[in-house]
A = this chain, B = another copy of it.
Amino acid sequence: MSTVGRQTYRHGDLRETLLSAGLEMAREGGPDAVVLREATRRAGVSPNAAYRHFADRRALLLAVSATAQGLAANSMEAAIAAIPTSGDPKVDAREGLRAVGLGYLAFARTEPGLFRTAFSVPDDLSNAESPAKAGSGGRTPFQLLAGVLDRLVEAGAMPRERRAGAELLAWSSVHGLGMLMIDGPLRGLTEDMIEDASARLVDMVARGL
């Protein structure tokens, strides 16, 4: 491929360009749709140029995944921001938990490709607070969840002895519904059923935590 559509030999910001090309492909078709050669094609660059910025396809995918997690965080933050304060700290804390869960699920529903790319690429809890995964508010999905759980304890709406590891429980439930809705056996549910299931699920978590 020659340097068509570009005057300079250097691209200028290839890494970023590849990343957003990858993000776009992920949006349309999930992690499997993130293909390296296509990204370089969209960037107007030869296939191998990508290897100057990403060790391999996997590395690109991880970067895309992190970015997608940031977008998920945005959705969660938006849901948090939308809840009116009631004055009662307990109620507010519970609403915060609900909002985090519903924001996560809303992201799954509106951006299924990105959701799958964000959370079904092999990763590790040790990276859960990496700034690359933060939304515009500066916090990652994991940090947002941890935050509302902390508030829940402080407000006395959740026994302190159950706090440790509660992220995993809450996250699991919501994540599972998201996955089953998207490419698991729960596809084909109507919008209403999804809405209903989402609400009931976060209630169940709030009750059971």
A172 and B176 contact, CB distance less than 8 A: yes
Q: Which residues of B contact A165 (CB under 8 A)?
A: 193, 196-197, 200
**How distant is A188 from chain B, measured CB to nearest CB, in Å?**
5
Given A119-B185, A187-B124, verify A168-B172 contact (CB < 8 Å): no
Check if A188 sits within 8 Å of B120, measured CB to CB.
no
Q: Point out the residue from B172, B177, B185 that lies within 8 Å of A180, measured CB to CB.
A: B172
A136: chain B residues within 8 A (beta carbon):
none
The closest CB in chain B to the CB of A31 belongs to B32
Is the CB–CB distance between A119 and B204 below 8 Å?
A: no
Chain B residues within an 8 Å CB radius of A177:
168-169, 172, 176
A128 at the interface (CB under 8 A from B): yes
Chain B's closest residue to A184 (CB) is B119
Q: Which bracket fits the contact residues of A?
A: 35 or more
- With A120-B120, A204-B208, A208-B207 known as contacts, the answer to whether A175 contacts B171 (CB < 8 A) is no
Q: Mark A170-209, 1 if CB is under 8 A from B, else 0.
A: 0111111111100111111100010011001101111111
Separation of A208 and B209 alpha carbons in the complex (Å) = 8
Distance A12 CA – B133 CA, assembled complex (angstroms): 52
Residues of chain A touching chain B, judged by Cβ–Cβ distance below 8 Å, are 32, 119-128, 142, 165, 168-169, 171-180, 183-189, 193, 196-197, 200-201, 203-209
